[in-house]
Amino acid sequence: MSRSAPQTACVIGTQWGDEGKGKIVDVLCEGCDAVARFQGGANAGHTVKFGGETHVLHLLPSGILRPGKQAILGNGMVIDPETLLAELDAIHQAGIHTEGRLFISDRAHVVMPYHRALDKGREERAGADKIGTTLRGIGPCYEDKAARRGIRVAELIDPAALKAWLSRVLPEKNALLAHCYGAPAFDLETLWREQAALGAKLKPAVVNAGELLAGLYRRGARILFEGAQGALLDIDLGTYPYVTSSNTCPSAIGTGCGFPVRRIDETIGVVKAYTTRVGAGPFPSEAPPALADLLRERGGEYGATTGRPRRCGWLDMAALARAVWTAGVDSLVITKVDVLDTLPEIKVAVGYRRGADRVDHLPASFPEEPPAIEWKTFPGWRRPTGDCRRFEDLPAPCRDYIAWIGAATGCAIRMVSVGPDRAQTIVLDRPLRATPP
Ligand code: IMP
């Protein structure tokens, strides 16, 4: 956000995650006071590069990398204390200090080691039907939250409460692990001691995050809400069941941060100039292997959390338009434009066909046979864009492609990213307004 920008904004992914939100949040939060996450957990992997260093964040909002910014982990998140502490260690070692500016919601749920074990057991057992989760225990933790047997940060930092909760839930977890998945059981006493020790380390940062955000807002602080994953991985609106277990769209900020959604001034959607997805599930615009390999290598398309190769394909306008509408996106940031620099032509899926019927949105379920795609083809620009710093510096076919995305979605284009470094970002002084096609 800049000085003249609205007080609050959110940044969300408009595809299947990995759109490059981490870098964009890092750039935007230069002009804000606090950054808050509202959903997800260590399944996210946000990569931020500057000054020759690369930082990969899983739980911490990207804003933590900017000195003086407050970073808030909202109650809608599922927090793995061990991962969080390791992440904090890594950034402390890189000389970034977080004392007094990191805040963890007392109502966020805790990912326990048994959640990770259950995630692994279920995925292994599902064989070919697996979701392809990140194995970070996300689904099992959200299940417990919905079933009202989850352990929250408030309990993690209170040893007596933690013991009482673990005593209630662990026998069932151990039975499941042993009988369904042949996995070892957890010892109550050992688990309690380990988790209580982690809780003690996190305790100084634990707050009522909703109250904190309300106070910041009333004092005029500029707040950025940082989404994880993407709109097409939303548990309700995404490609179910190949989705994550949280709501990834901005509506989740209300419940995931205790912050009224109507106080959010701008919703910024991040869209990659092509599409990727990790894990199983429908991907209508997936590219054939040779092109997918090329995009993967040029774009470094390997999961920041799991290292898995990402599936790659062309931009899917039908899916994007739906995500933009549902998430209420006002403006778009287009990332990884430079990855397309060498291509002779660029294709976009603009709709699907089932027999004679045109379908212009992702259906509720995808049968085995993928839908036929209606394509639009753009000329490539075949020039490096990584050094472009103004929109006018981009080759004309590249500008046309970007302008078309804006027009087709009805969104203003706010920024264009042409490389992984903070510096490789074109911020449009006057956002490129959409002109209908
Ligand atoms: P889970 O969130 O680990 O349960 O994984 C469910 C699905 O969401 C899998 O297809 C994952 O690959 C995908 N997923 C989860 N987090 C991310 C992310 O940050 N980026 C991209 N895909 C993700």
- Closest residue by Cα to residue 410 from 394, 392, 432, 426: 432
In a domain, 137, yes or no: yes
Q: Which of 179, 205, 231 is the last residue of a domain?
A: 205
* Residues framing ligand 1 (Cβ under 6 A): 16-18, 43-45, 131-134, 136, 138-139, 228-229, 233, 242, 244-245, 278-279
In a domain, 437, yes or no: no
240 alpha carbon to ligand 1 midpoint, in Å? Answer: 12
The DSSP annotation for 200-215 comes to HHHGGGEE-HHHHHHH
Q: Which of 189, 205, 221 is the last residue of a domain?
A: 205
- The whole domain housing 131 covers 109-205
Mean pLDDT of 120-147: 96
The one catalytic residue in 26, 33, 46, 115 is 46
State residue 366's pLDDT score: 74
Mean pLDDT of 199-218: 98
Share of the chain above pLDDT 70, in %: 96
278 alpha carbon to ligand 1 midpoint, in Å? Answer: 7
Indicate whether 197 and 281 sit together in one domain.
no
Indicate whether 36 and 180 sit together in one domain.
no
CA–CA dist 340, 298 (Å, integer): 8
CA–CA dist 252, 233 (Å, integer): 13
The DSSP annotation for 122-189 comes to HHHHHGGG-----SSSHHHHHHHHHTT-PPBHHHHT-HHHHHHHHHHHHHHHHHHHHHHH-PPPPPHH
Q: What is the mean pLDDT of the chain?
A: 94
Indicate whether 298 and 414 sit together in one domain.
yes
In a domain, 241, yes or no: yes
361 alpha carbon to ligand 1 midpoint, in Å? Answer: 22
Indicate whether 100 and 234 sit together in one domain.
yes
In a domain, 286, yes or no: yes
Q: Which of 164, 179, 205 is the last residue of a domain?
A: 205
For the chain, the domain total comes to: 2
Which of 116, 278, 308 is the pocket-test mutation for ligand 1 (most atoms within 8 Å of CB)?
A: 278
Indicate whether 218 and 278 sit together in one domain.
yes
The DSSP annotation for 289-318 comes to HHHHHHHHHHHT-B-TTT-PBPEEE-EEHH
State residue 4's pLDDT score: 52
State residue 3's pLDDT score: 41
221 alpha carbon to ligand 1 midpoint, in Å? Answer: 32
Mean pLDDT of 308-332: 96
pTM of the predicted protein model: 0.94
Residue 46 bears catalytic tag: yes
State residue 74's pLDDT score: 98
Atom 16 of ligand 1, residue of closest alpha carbon: 43
Q: Which atom of ligand 1 is nearest to the CA of 45?
A: 19
Q: pLDDT at residue 60 above 60?
A: yes
Indicate whether 221 and 181 sit together in one domain.
no
State residue 315's pLDDT score: 98
Which range is least confidently modeled, 65-69, 183-187, 383-387? 65-69
pLDDT in tens, 69-113: 999 999 999 999 999 999 999 999 999 999 999 999 999 999 999
Share of the chain above pLDDT 90, in %: 84
Residue 115 bears catalytic tag: no
Q: Which atom of ligand 1 is nearest to the CA of 308?
A: 12
In a domain, 434, yes or no: no
Q: pLDDT at residue 2 above 50?
A: no
pLDDT in tens, 355-400: 888 887 788 887 667 788 999 999 999 999 999 999 999 999 999 9
CA–centroid distance for 344 within its chain: 31
Q: Please report, for the domain that includes residue 172, its CATH number.
A: 1.10.300.10
Indicate whether 99 and 171 sit together in one domain.
no
Mean pLDDT of 106-128: 97
